[in-house]
Amino acid sequence: MHNESLEGVQVTLVTPSPKHKVAAARVGGFINILRTRGARINLLCYLPYSDKFAIKREKTDGLVNSITLCFPSRWPRFLKGLLLLAFNSAYTLKYSRTSHVILAGCGSMLLNAPVIIASKLSRKPFIYDWQDLEVEKIPEVIFKYLLRQATTVLGVSHYLCEKARGYGCKTVVYTPCFVDVNHFQIDEEAREKVRNRWGVKRDNVVIGYAGLLHKGEGVAVLLQTFKGLLTKHKHIRLAILGVLIPTGEWVDVPQLTKDLHLEDTVIIVPPVIHSEVPNILSACDILCAPKLDTEVNRAAIPIKVIEYLSMGLPTVTTTVGELNRIVIDRVNGFMAKPGDVEDLEAVLEEIILNPEHSQEVGRRGRVGIVNEFGIDAIENTIVKSLISILRKK
């Protein structure tokens, strides 16, 4: 299958922008896989946190033709949704006529309705990339009907795959989060530069977090845990690279840091583009994703945990959902009870006090990601699904 080519195949890809704060990793991975195999891509995407309203066109090396709908951050969500429905309707119908297959994963399932209609009218296979539970709660009967229109469903977790099969979807393929392991690894030069910029000393142990600031991510728990650890280990520091999107409940990290009197020991890192995240992670000694036990967290595999483990650093997460399939406690990572400050503190302290063993666990964590969640490991699954659909067509 490594020799299977997609040369001559044209794919219409309907997704968030590769510059999107949340979806950049997966979108970029799909694009790289398709380009590597020679497919031509019509990328129809949206960027909901832009400076101004615009429709931008761009061509990349003759293989990617992208059209991006940009919204100002301040615009109300319902207006963005209406415009995106119109955008998806017009452009998907236009490009589906010359494409061999349509691949989409646009957040709310309602935004995919025009894509489904275009696939029916053009009689082209439709692949749906199911990454998460619905953010907007549409009636389950409607969601179920729309999902069953997909020729193939790519499920990011076993939970979602089982749910899709329960809905009656005929072809469901487990396609977990994947990472470019050559990019997500320690960069010693970047580590030194970033730590110098932060004013971190050589003997400081930096605990790092990079991800969303939603309440369910457990950042508040991490801050409270760090405060307790600091009373016993004065040399530790906490670096938080937080991404804030205007949906749901979120944690005001600067304010909470002040409330806990941690201003001198917590480093609040301004948001960076996804390609620069490994540089930030390289500057850390321990990485922590203290997810809470919520329905959303039980359903998905968090890309940030895959990225953390790929760095080869001791990684701490919680016993929630699919994470129990990925991390074996104290073998390739460390597990704590979700929402339990005392337990998380005990795990982090164990890592701090046993650096040699912790570093070995971190190395084993990277090996596991390379073998199971590296882009090379997942590439064949995606390409095989595409070729199977095209042969049936």
Q: What are the residue ranges of helices labelled H in the chain?
A: 24-36, 77-96, 113-122, 140-147, 158-166, 188-198, 219-230, 253-259, 277-282, 295-299, 303-310, 323-326, 341-353, 355-372, 375-392
What is the spatial order of strands in the sheet that 10-16 belongs to? Answer: 54-60, 64-72, 40-50, 10-16, 101-104, 126-130, 152-155, 172-174
* Same domain? 14 vs 145: yes
| CATH number of 205's domain | 3.40.50.2000
Confidence band, pLDDT 50/70/90 cuts, at residue 377: confident
* Same domain? 14 vs 92: yes
pLDDT in tens, 177-215: 999 999 999 999 999 999 999 999 999 999 999 998 989
CB atoms within 10 A of CB 87: 20
Provide the β-strand partners of residue 50: 72
* Same domain? 151 vs 231: no
* Assigned domain for 3 exists: no
* Same domain? 269 vs 333: yes
Q: How many CA atoms are closer than 13 Å to the CA of 198, on its beta-carbon side?
A: 31
* Assigned domain for 140 exists: yes
* Assigned domain for 2 exists: no
* Assigned domain for 161 exists: yes
* Assigned domain for 183 exists: no
Confidence band, pLDDT 50/70/90 cuts, at residue 1: very low
Q: What is the CA radius of gyration of the chain?
A: 21
DSSP per-residue codes, 99-141: -SEEEE--SSGGGGHHHHHHHHHHT--EEEEE-SS-SS---HH
Confidence band, pLDDT 50/70/90 cuts, at residue 3: low
Determine the length of the chain. 393
CB atoms within 10 A of CB 89: 15
Confidence band, pLDDT 50/70/90 cuts, at residue 338: very high
* Same domain? 149 vs 199: no
What is the spatial order of strands in the sheet that 334-336 belongs to? Answer: 266-269, 236-243, 205-212, 286-289, 315-318, 334-336
* Same domain? 174 vs 239: no
* Assigned domain for 4 exists: no
Q: Mean per-residue pLDDT for 213-232?
A: 96
* Assigned domain for 39 exists: yes
* Same domain? 233 vs 364: yes
* Same domain? 35 vs 161: yes
* Assigned domain for 5 exists: no
Structure-token pair, residue 49: 């946190």
| Residue range of the domain that includes 15 | 10-178+375-392
Q: Which of 9-23, 193-207, 266-280, 285-299 has the lowest mean pLDDT?
A: 9-23
pTM of the model: 0.89
Look at the chain and report how many structural domains it folds into: 2
- What pLDDT score was predicted for residue 76? 87
* Same domain? 25 vs 59: yes
* Same domain? 93 vs 215: no
Q: Mean per-residue pLDDT for 78-97?
A: 92
* Same domain? 131 vs 193: no
Q: Cα dihedral sign for 169, 171, 174, 175?
A: negative
* Same domain? 333 vs 387: no
